[in-house]
Structure 1
Amino acid sequence: MRIGPFDLHSPVVLAPMAGVTNVAFRTLCRELELSRAGTVSGLYVCEMVTARAMVERHPVTMHMTTFAPDESPRSLQLYAVDPETTYAAAKMIVEEDLADHIDMNFGCPVPKVTRRGGGAALPYKRRLFGQIVAAAVRATEGTDIPVTVKFRIGIDDEHHTHLDAGRIAAEEGAAAVALHARTAAQRYSGTADWEQIGALKAHVTGIPVLGNGDIFDARDAVAMMAATGCDGVVIGRGCLGRPWLFAELSAEFTGATPATPPTLGEVASIIRRHGELLAAHFGEDKGMRDIRKHVAWYLHGFPAGADLRRSMALVKTISELDDLLDQLDPDVPFPAAANGPRGRQGSAASVSLPENWLDDPDDCAVPVGADVMHSGG
C-alpha cells in the first residue's frame, strides 16, 4: 500500500490511542515485528496531539511528539477544529521537521470532545471539515509529507457523514482516508459495520481507503479486506497487550510463516522491555504507573493468580516489576482465552453536541472552545 511517498510492505497502520501509542509502545511493536517477522513494514502513528497545544508549545504535547531515532516514517496524528490553527500546526511540523506524515483525527467520540463540536461531531459540518483538511494540505505543499484523514460512520444512525467526509477529504488533497466503522453513538460497543467500509471504498476511488474496527488477529484483517475491498487496515484495541500482532499481520500479508504465539515467559520478557522503554521516556515513577494498565492486557487469559495481578497493578519500580515477572511460569503456552476483544467497550449512548449543531451542515463557523483540550484525548 502506498501513502504519499511511502510504500508500506504490509497494509497495516497502528491506530493512535491515548495513553498507549507513545514512543515506548511504538518502539516495542517495531522491535517485535523486526525480530519475529524480519521487517518493519507498516505505519506506526503516535498519540493524538492537539493543534492548538502544539502551536502554543505545551510541554506535555511537545513531549508526546517524541519519536525514536530510527523511527521512519514518523507519523503524527493531529486533532484540529480551526483551519487557521491547523495550518499553523502543520506548518510548524514542516518547518521544524517534527514528522514525516500527518494523520487528522475526526473520529473521537468522547463526550467532552463532541459536545464542543470536535472529533466525530465535526464532519457533519461539511464546509468546515473541508477547510480544515485543505489547511493541512496547503501547509505541506511542496514537501513529501502526506496528510491522511480518519473518521467514523457518523454521529448516529440518522446522521451518517462518512461518504461526504471521504469525498471531501480526497477533493482537498488527502493522501488516504480511514474509517472506523462505528458511529460516535456506538463509541466502542457493538459490532463494527464493515459494509460501510465497502461503501466508502466504492465512493472514494482515487486514494487508499483503510478500514478500522474489530480486528483482533491477522485473520480478521484478511477478512475485512476481502469483504470490503479496502486497501489497508488500522489496528487499535486488537494490539493492546499484544504488540507482536504487527509481526503476525506482516507475515500474513507477505506470505511468510508467522512466529509461534509467545509463551508466558516470552510475554514476561516483552512486559519487562515495555517497562524499560516507558521508564526511559517518562522516568521510572511515571513509567511504572503507566505499565500497570498494560500488564492487565498482557496477562489476559493467562493463569497468573489474583495476588500477583494485584501486586503488578501497584508496581512502583523496575526492580519490583522484575521480581513479580519472575514469579510467572515461563512454560505456559499462549492460551486461546487470550485471543479476542480487549480494551474499552462500554455501551452506546446519545452523542453530546453543541446547541443547534445539526441545524446547518454547511455552517463553517469554528465551534467555540472545541480545541481547549489536552493532547491525547
Structure 2
Amino acid sequence: MSQATPALRIGPYAVDPAVVLAPMAGITNVAFRTLCREFGSPTSLYVCEMITARAIVERDAKTMEMITFGPGENPRSMQLYTVDPATTAEAVRMIVAEDRADHIDMNFGCPVPKVTRKGGGAALPYKRGLFRNIVAAAVGAAGDVPVTVKFRIGIDAEHHTYLDAGRIAEGEGAQAVALHARTAAQRYSGEADWTRIARLKEAVTSIPVLGNGDIFSAEDALKMVDQTGCDGVVVGRGCLGRPWLFRELDAAFTGRPIPEGPDLGEVGRILTRHAELLADHIGEEKGVRDLRKHMAWYLRGFPIGATLRQRFAMVSGLAELADLVGELDPALPYPPDADGPRGRQGSPGRVVLPEGWLEDPEDTAVPLGADLMHSGG
C-alpha cells in the first residue's frame, strides 16, 4: 500500500513528503537528524531536541551546543519548551536576530511528572489564557520565521484541551499544529486515539494539522492520513534504531513501493555511520558512549546472541565497534519481529498538577518554577 500525498507547507517551506521527525530528548541531535535525512527526503522536517526558552535567554552552554545544525539542514527546525510569554518573546527574538533557526515549534506535550507538577508541558494548555499569551508572544517575536505548536489530547480523560489549543494556536498565527493523540495521563502507554486527530482537523481549518502517535511503519503513516485526513505525520519512537524508516516513508508518500528492511550487513554500516556522525559532533569517546543506548534498537530481532549484544551495548571506541560489526553475519535478513512499538512505553498514571491548577482555565499567571528544567527534556 502506498499513495502520493500533497506537500505540506509551513510558512515558506514545502515539507515534501509531509513527514516530521519529532524532537526526542537525547536522540535527535545533529548526528541522528543527519542520518534520518540521508535516508528520507531532504525536504521533510527534522526537529532538534527540545530547548528551553529560559536556557536560550541565559545562553546556557549545553543548550547553545544542542542547537548545532549541520550544513545541509534546511530548514533548521528548533523546538522550544516555555511557560512564560515574556521569556518566550525574548528567546524567539534572540533566535531570529542571531539566525539560529528557520522554524520554531512550541512544545506543550511533555507528560513527565516533574514538568506537569509545576504546570508546564501537557498541563499548560488547560490554562487557555496563558497558552494564548505564549503562542501570541512567540508569533509576534518570530517575524517571518514560522511558528508551529504541538500538544496532547489533554491532561486526562476528564480534561481534554486539544480542540481549544488548536483553535487558539490557529487564531494567534501559528502556521501548523500537531497532536500527539494521547493524554498526559497515558504518557506513552496504550494506543493513540487517532479519532482525535480527525476531530482536530475538523476544528482547525486554515492551517495544517499533523498527527503523531503509534507510527511504527510506513503503513501506519498512510493509515493515519487515510483515517484522519491529517496533513502530515510526526514520527517519534518508531524510528529509534530505524533511521531507514524515513526511506520507507518517503517511498510510501510518493507512491513508490515500500522497500524491505535492511539485512544485518546494512544495519552494521548504518550504526557505524551513526557512530562516525556522533564522533564528529561531540568527539569519539562521548559519541560512541551516546550510541550505546541505540544498540538494542538497532539489533532488535536479529539472532546474534546475548554475549555479542552485550558487547555492543558496552562499546567504547570506533575501532572496537568496527571489530564488533565484523563479527555480525551480514546476510541475516531483516527480522519481522523487529517492527512494532519501541522506546519508552511505561504505564498510565495520575497527572500531578500544581495546587488549584484546574480552578480557572482563563488564568494567565505564569506557573512558578516551571521553566527551570534543562533543555532536552
The bucket for the TM-score relative to the shorter chain is over 0.9
Say if 2:18 is the partner of 1:16.
no
Tell me the CA shift for residue 281 of structure 1.
1.1
Instruction: Encode CA deviations 1:79-131: one digit per residue, 9 max, x unaligned.
Output: 00000000011001100000000000000000111111000000000000010
Equivalence for 1:168: 168
Question: 2:223 & 2:133 partners in 1: Cα distance?
Answer: 35
Which of 124, 136, 139 is equivalent to 2:138?
136
Equivalent runs, 1:224-235 vs 2, <5 Å: 224-235=224-235
Tell me the CA shift for residue 297 of structure 1.
0.4
- Give the match's secondary structure for 2:131: helix
- Give the match's secondary structure for 2:179: strand
Question: 1:227 & 1:255 partners in 2: Cα distance?
Answer: 18
Instruction: Encode CA deviations 1:151-181: one digit per residue, 9 max, x unaligned.
Output: 0000000000000000000000000000000
Question: 2:321 & 2:358 partners in 1: Cα distance?
Answer: 50
Which amino acid is the alignment partner of residue 355 of structure 2? E
- Give the match's secondary structure for 1:215: coil
Question: 1:306 & 1:126 partners in 2: Cα distance?
Answer: 51
Which amino acid is the alignment partner of residue 320 of structure 1? E
Instruction: Encode CA deviations 1:13-56: one digit per residue, 9 max, x unaligned.
Output: 000000000000000011122xxxxx423100000000000110
Equivalent runs, 1:342-361 vs 2, <5 Å: 342-361=342-361
Question: 2:176 & 2:262 partners in 1: Cα distance?
Answer: 34
Equivalence for 2:290: 290
Tell me the CA shift for residue 247 of structure 1.
1.2
- Give the match's secondary structure for 1:374: coil
Which amino acid is the alignment partner of residue 160 of structure 2? H
Say if 2:69 is the partner of 1:67.
yes
Which of 103, 121, 124 is equivalent to 1:122?
124
Equivalence for 1:30: 37
Say if 2:252 is the partner of 1:245.
no
Equivalent runs, 1:213-292 vs 2, <5 Å: 213-292=213-292
Equivalence for 2:60: 58
Which of 100, 104, 107 is equivalent to 1:105?
107
Tell me the CA shift for residue 288 of structure 1.
1.3
Tell me the CA shift for residue 286 of structure 1.
1.3
Equivalent runs, 1:38-57 vs 2, <5 Å: 39-57=41-59
Equivalence for 1:80: 82
Residue ranges of structure 2 left out of the alignment (5+ in a row)? 1-7
RMSD: 0.8
Which amino acid is the alignment partner of residue 185 of structure 1? A
Tell me the CA shift for residue 259 of structure 1.
3.1
Equivalent runs, 1:147-158 vs 2, <5 Å: 147-158=147-158
Contact 1:101 1:146 in 2 (8 A): yes
Aligned length: 370
Equivalent runs, 1:173-188 vs 2, <5 Å: 173-188=173-188
Question: 1:41 & 1:229 partners in 2: Cα distance?
Answer: 21
Tell me the CA shift for residue 258 of structure 1.
3.2
Tell me the CA shift for residue 233 of structure 1.
0.5
Equivalent runs, 1:302-313 vs 2, <5 Å: 302-313=302-313
Question: 2:114 & 2:285 partners in 1: Cα distance?
Answer: 29
Which amino acid is the alignment partner of residue 57 of structure 1? R
Identity %: 69
Question: 2:170 & 2:39 partners in 1: Cα distance?
Answer: 34
Contact 1:201 1:228 in 2 (8 A): yes
Residue ranges of structure 1 left out of the alignment (5+ in a row)? 34-38
